[in-house]
Amino acid sequence: MKLDILAFAAHPDDVELACSGTVIKHINAGKKVGVVDLTLGELGTRGTPDIRSVEAEAASMVMGLATRDNLGFRDIFFTNDETHQLEVVKRIRQYQPEIILANAVHDRHPDHSRASQLVSQACFMAGLPKIETTLDGNRQKEWRPKAVYHFIQSSYVAPDIVVDISDTFERKMESIKAYGSQFHDPNSDEPETFISGSQFLDLIKARALDLGKTIGVEYAEGFTVERVPGVNNLFDLI
């Protein structure tokens, strides 16, 4: 299956929290979008890997993803080394996306910036024909995405581009709420975390409102780029 956009995320729910509005918008426009989660989020304070997997499937249905994989890397302990890079390369070559979405370049969770670097390097490596990978016994052909965009997560990073998600914001929030084990539940007896507080989802909305204000719309999501984007003419920017 060839995808138009492939999003990599350190944990299930990273995509939903940071860029699901953009994902849904492009799916609504007829693009094929998939997600590859690097870990099961097994070291998260709340819930279990099995619960997170069920929640990720539910969120995928809300977003309308074409596919979702999990590479099963060790939460917190995965590294940016050859073994992990080659696994990411395999997925890039398998799905041949034009655009990659990846974790924030800087964030409070150390997995996020490490995943950002891992995916960025793998995107370059995937285009080198002398790096050989196989999938299901078949040698894969090299493939390099045209662009890599890093979504913004907990820590604020000034965006290079901002996407209007006013029409998809409510479904974004629905996809986030699919992770019921992770967010506020007054009936839960599990420990409180950074994201389980009663006001956390309000912060997600506030971020979207703030980014929307920068481009004159209601809600938006921001991304940083690895290279300067080009347009055919100035009217493409209006």
Q: Letter for the amino acid at 74?
A: R
What pLDDT was estimated at residue 226?
96
CB 94 within 8 A of CB 133: no
pLDDT at position 75: 98
pLDDT at 44: 94
Domains of the chain are 5-237 (3.40.50.10320)
* Ranges under pLDDT 50 in the chain: none
CA distance 214 to 234: 18
Query: Would you put residue 54 in left (φ > 0), alpha (ψ -120 to 50) or beta?
Result: alpha
- Per residue in 122-148, pLDDT (tens digit) is 999 999 999 999 999 999 999 999 999
Q: Give me the pLDDT at residue 102, please.
A: 98
Place of tokens 């969770």: 109
Residue 238's pLDDT is 76
Q: What is the pLDDT of residue 184?
A: 87
The confidence score (pLDDT) of residue 187 equals 86
Per DSSP (E only), the strands in 103-226 are 134-135, 138-139, 147-151, 161-164, 220-225
Best CA proximity match to 113, nearest among 145, 75, 150: 150
